[in-house]
Amino acid sequence: MTHLPEGTSELITRALAEDIGSGDVTANATVPESLTAQAHIVLKQPGVIFGLDVVEEVFRQTGASDLDRTVVEGHWHDSVPRDVMLVNGPARAILAGERVALNFLGHLSGIATLTARYVDAVGGTGARILDTRKTLPGLRALEKQAVSWGGGMNHRFGLYDAVLIKENHIALAGGVREAVEACRRQSPGLHVEVEAETLDQVAEGIEAGADRILLDNMDVEHLKRAVDLRESGGPGTELEASGGMNLLNVREVAETGVDFISIGALTHSAPQLDVSLLLDPAP
C-alpha cells in the first residue's frame, strides 16, 4: 500500500464530477439500480503497475468499495493480460468510476514503466535516474510517487524545497559565487545546485561550493571532462546530466561517471500503460 498525497481525494472528486456531471445517462437507462457486478481491471501490456490506491479511492467515492488487489505494485509484470484488481459492488457505481480510475491508473503506471526502463538501462553504472518539475498541474505528487515506484528518485518538488541556480539567477545576483552565497544565507539548510552550460561554469560552481552541478545539454565528451574537473577540484560535488536523454543514449551518459541523470520525459511524455475494465454481472 502507498500513501495518497494530500489533496488526492479532492482531486478525484473533481475528476469524477467532471466525468459524471448530472448523472450517467447511459447506465441509468440500461442498468437496473439494484444490479451488482464484479469487474476485473486488466493489465494488457508488460510494465509496472502503480496507482491502485487511487483506483480504490475512485471506487470508494462512487460507492463500490469491495476491492481486492491481485498484483504487487512497483514490480515489472511481463505476463499479460492479467488481472490487477477485482471490484465488487453496484454495477452503476463501477461504471461511474471506470474511466476516471483507468485514466489515473494508465497514466501513473505509464510513468512507473518508463522510469523502470531508464533505471534498467543504466543498471550497474552507479548513476541514478531523477524526475523533474515537468509535471501536469495538480498531479505532481502522484506523478513523482510513480517515478519512485518505478525505481527512480525525486528531484525537488517545487521552488521551495531545494535551490537550483540558473542562468538568469546568476546574472541578477552578479555571478555564480554571489548567487551561491546569497542562497546559503537565505536558506542555510537547503541543497544548492548550479546549472552549467560550459566547463568554465562547472569549475565556477565547484569553486563556489555548490552541492551539485547540473550539466545542461552537454555531449558525452564534455560530460567526461566535467567529471574530471570534479575529481580534481571538488570530489564532494555531485554531477547531474540533463537534456536530450533517451533510452538509446542514457547508458552512454551514465558511463561518463555522472551521479544523476534527470529526465523530464518520465512525467511529461510517458505513454499510458494499457489497462482496461471488464465487467461481469454477479450471479
Active site residues: 99, 134, 166, 195, 216
Query: What b/e sequence results for 165-194 when a residue is b if at least 16 CB atoms lie within 10 Å of its CB, and e otherwise?
Result: beeebbeebeebbebbebbbeeeeeeebbb
Q: How far apart are the C-alpha atoms of 60 and 4, rounded to whole Å?
A: 14
Q: How many helices (H) and strands (E) does the chain have?
A: 11, 12
Kindly report the number of other CB atoms within 10 A of residue 161's CB atom.
12
Q: Give CA 270 to chain center in angstroms.
A: 9
Angstrom CA distances, 251 to 78, 213, 223, stand at: 23, 19, 13
